[in-house]
């Protein structure tokens, strides 16, 4: 229940971030609801070089590569995965949930550092997704491990 709620909130925030980035690309004067001031501006963060491919992929795969997407696209995929696989009881699903959560938290730590130390900004949408990612990691760590199938009696 918690996982699906957190995944839904993360998905909504990621879709909003994608909307803000696309709206700002069409209209540079666009002001998002999360732009509260010069140092509290999500659209400035989303439009920065770190807002696409985590600021890393352009140098590896090229600026125009299909892999160099807005970070929010990766967020949409992550939150869909967490929401859809959240009820799984098989080992492979659990490994995928936990592994993707670990990657999300590492990415959040990296982007949080960039946000505060490089961009000197406070992005409410970003910080909220970082908290959601941490909560999903905790939930995935606390999920019960799948039990091996019981052997039929007499074997």
Q: Is the pLDDT of residue 147 over 80?
A: no
The closest alpha carbon to 81, from 10, 1, 2, 155, belongs to 10
Tokens of 142: 């606390």
Q: Is the pLDDT of residue 51 over 80?
A: yes
What mean pLDDT do residues 49-74 have? 95
Backbone φ, ψ for residue 150 (5° rounding): -70, 140
Q: Is the pLDDT of residue 109 over 90?
A: yes
**pLDDT digit string (tens) for 83-107?**
999 888 889 999 999 999 999 999 9
What mean pLDDT do residues 100-128 have? 97
**Element of type H or E holding 36:** strand 35-37
Domain residue ranges of the chain, discontinuous segments joined by +: 2-142
Q: What's the alpha-carbon Rg for the chain, to the nearest Å?
A: 18
* Local confidence band at 116 (pLDDT 50, 70, 90 cut-offs): very high
Q: Which pLDDT score, from 0 to 100, does residue 151 have?
A: 67
Farthest CA pair distance, the chain: 74
What b-and-e string marks burial along 30-63, b requiring 16 or more CB atoms within 10 Å of the CB? eebebbeeeeebbbbbbbbebbbbbbebbeeeee
Please give the share of the chain, as a percent, with pLDDT higher than 70: 94
* Local confidence band at 149 (pLDDT 50, 70, 90 cut-offs): low
Q: Which pLDDT score, from 0 to 100, does residue 154 have?
A: 65
* Local confidence band at 78 (pLDDT 50, 70, 90 cut-offs): very high
Q: Which pLDDT score, from 0 to 100, does residue 87 have?
A: 82
| CATH architecture of structural domain 2-142 | Up-down Bundle (1.20)
Q: How many residues does the chain have?
A: 155
Distance between CA atoms of 78 and 29, rounded to whole angstroms?
30
- The residue whose two tokens read 């540079």 is 28
What mean pLDDT do residues 44-49 have? 94
* Local confidence band at 150 (pLDDT 50, 70, 90 cut-offs): low
């Amino acid at each position: 229940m918690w996982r699906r709620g957190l995944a839904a909130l993360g998905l909504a925030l990621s879709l909003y971030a994608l909307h803000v980035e696309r709206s700002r690309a069409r209209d540079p004067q666009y002001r998002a609801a999360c732009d509260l001031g010069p140092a509290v501006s999500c659209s400035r963060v989303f439009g920065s070089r770190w807002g696409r491919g985590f600021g890393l992929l352009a140098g590896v795969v090229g600026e125009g590569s299909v892999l160099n997407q807005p970070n929010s696209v990766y967020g949409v995929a992550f939150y869909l995965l967490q929401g859809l696989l959240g009820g799984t009881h098989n080992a492979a699903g659990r490994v995928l949930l936990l592994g993707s959560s670990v990657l999300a938290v590492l990415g959040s730590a990296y982007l949080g550092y960039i946000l505060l130390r490089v961009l000197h900004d406070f992005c409410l949408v970003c910080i909220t997704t970082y908290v959601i990612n941490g909560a999903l990691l905790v939930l995935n760590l606390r999920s019960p491990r799948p039990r091996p199938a019981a052997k039929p009696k007499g074997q």
